[in-house]
Amino acid sequence: MNTYQNYDTIVIGGGPGGSTVATLVAEQGYRVLLLERESEPTFKIGESLIPATYWTFKRLGMLEKLRTSHFPQKYSVQFYSRSGKGSAPFYFFQTNPHESAVTWQVLRSEFDQMLLDNAKEKGVEVRRGVGVREVLLDGDTATGVLTQNADGTRETLNATVIVDSTGQRSLIGRQLNLNTIEPNLKMASLFTHYEGGHRDEGIDEGATLILHTEEKDSWFWSIPLPYNRTSIGVVGELDYLLQNRRDADGKLDTQKIFNEELMKCAPLKQRLEGAKQLFPIQTTKDFSYRASRIAGNNWVLVGDAFGFLDPVYSTGLFLALKSGEMAADVILEAFRKDDFSEAQLGSFGPAFVDGMEAFRKLVYAFYTKEFSFARFLSEYPEHQGGIVDILSGDVFRKDVTHIFPDMAEMCPLPPEMPIG
């Protein structure tokens, strides 16, 4: 049993989830150390925000920094069907006549660094170039971390609370074998950035576009970024996009696959005419999973370290920020009560998972071939507002569950995944 703690809280990982929890705990006067393994800001995927992030940015004191940034403003998301026809854009201000209805498209290297700088300003000790090899556990109780520093040295650091915000690395999830891949969302993605290409005008210039390919076997995102760049990625089932596309030698030509999918998406192909691809295709797969627990004694999971759904509605950053905020609240309460049990630190879990489940149902609807939002809304026009609320991320502030009984008439919705 340690009688001296080096820190009140150690946060592992300096992505949006880690920066959020660290900032909000440090701001209340606690000693917080954040360890980020990368020495420099790096490229990351996940570039489109949704409006509900506004409220976490407000608490973090980030709104002015974002307003004065060069990140394109996002007012809407627009869907293109397999026939190449675009839906009317879903403007977030349709259900929310407030400045929070406008959000941003971000370059992650810059955005993550802005959040880390803000954390430092609020009192967090940020160390870059320090990876955590292992969370030290005494049974199920976290006591500290074993670090691997850039110069190869290792260090043991103790803290009362350890936050795992290592993203898909999911340090504690792997150590305790907590993670389950979503059985029906075995997906893969290929992505890159382009320079140039067509953009719509006015408030549509910063819109996210979600475009199905001809047979609806895959879909593309198009996300406008600063420096006249656009992030373009394709998502499809792992077997379809990668496993079944190997050549006779078993090799994968991801550029060829990307080009083949683009050929099946006429509206996007047209928009990218004359644009220049900026770097080779990158690949990721098996990204939809969830941990069976969100906390234990003296430890908490935040953001992707707990789980990730799917890129389609750009919910990842929001859920990382929101879980960072909720985790900070239960940690601050734990210090006040001197109770660092799983029951206390995991007390935000049920509400957080309820919000996540609303997105998850909409993700399953999206991947049901026979389902389309256009058809759903023509049959149930009263649900237009509910859909916009979910696309805006308003799943914690409003009850959006009323749309699901009708949606279940048109597509199978998944049973909820409980947490322990």
Ligand X SMILES: Cc1cc2nc3c(=O)[nH]c(=O)nc-3n(C[C@H](O)[C@H](O)[C@H](O)COP(=O)(O)OP(=O)(O)OC[C@H]3O[C@@H](n4cnc5c(N)ncnc54)[C@H](O)[C@@H]3O)c2cc1C
Which residue ranges make up the site for ligand X (CB under 6 A)? Answer: 12-18, 35-38, 44-48, 131-132, 165-167, 169, 171, 189, 233, 284, 287, 303-305, 308, 311, 314-318, 320
Comparison of 47 and 325: residue with beta carbon closer to ligand X = 47
SS3 state at 370: coil
Comparison of 35 and 365: residue with beta carbon closer to ligand X = 35
- Shortest distance, position 343 Cβ to ligand X, whole Å: 24
Comparison of 12 and 295: residue with beta carbon closer to ligand X = 12
Comparison of 309 and 403: residue with beta carbon closer to ligand X = 309
For 174, the token pair is 């792997």
Comparison of 272 and 327: residue with beta carbon closer to ligand X = 327
From CA 248, how far away is CA 189, in angstroms rounded?
22
> Cβ contacts of residue 398 below 8 Å, gap of 6+?
389
- Shortest distance, position 281 Cβ to ligand X, whole Å: 12
- Shortest distance, position 168 Cβ to ligand X, whole Å: 6
Q: Which long-range contacts (CB under 8 A, 24 or more apart) does 408-411 make?
A: 410/365, 410/370, 410/371, 410/375, 410/376, 410/379, 411/364, 411/365, 411/368, 411/370, 411/371
For 118, the token pair is 């803000």
- Shortest distance, position 131 Cβ to ligand X, whole Å: 4
- CA dihedral (287, 290, 291, 292) in degrees, to 10, reads -150
CA 313 to chain centre: 10
- Shortest distance, position 208 Cβ to ligand X, whole Å: 7
Comparison of 321 and 407: residue with beta carbon closer to ligand X = 321
Comparison of 127 and 245: residue with beta carbon closer to ligand X = 127
- Shortest distance, position 316 Cβ to ligand X, whole Å: 2
- Shortest distance, position 85 Cβ to ligand X, whole Å: 23
Q: How many helices (H) and strands (E) does the chain have?
A: 14, 21
- Shortest distance, position 219 Cβ to ligand X, whole Å: 11
From CA 393, how far away is CA 228, in angstroms rounded?
27
Asked whether 218 and 100 are in contact (CB, 8 A), the reply is: no
Single out the residue of 342, 296, 301 nearest to residue 320, CA to CA: 301
Comparison of 40 and 247: residue with beta carbon closer to ligand X = 40
Locate all alpha helices (DSSP H) within 125-176, ordered by sequence: 171-175
SS3 state at 174: helix
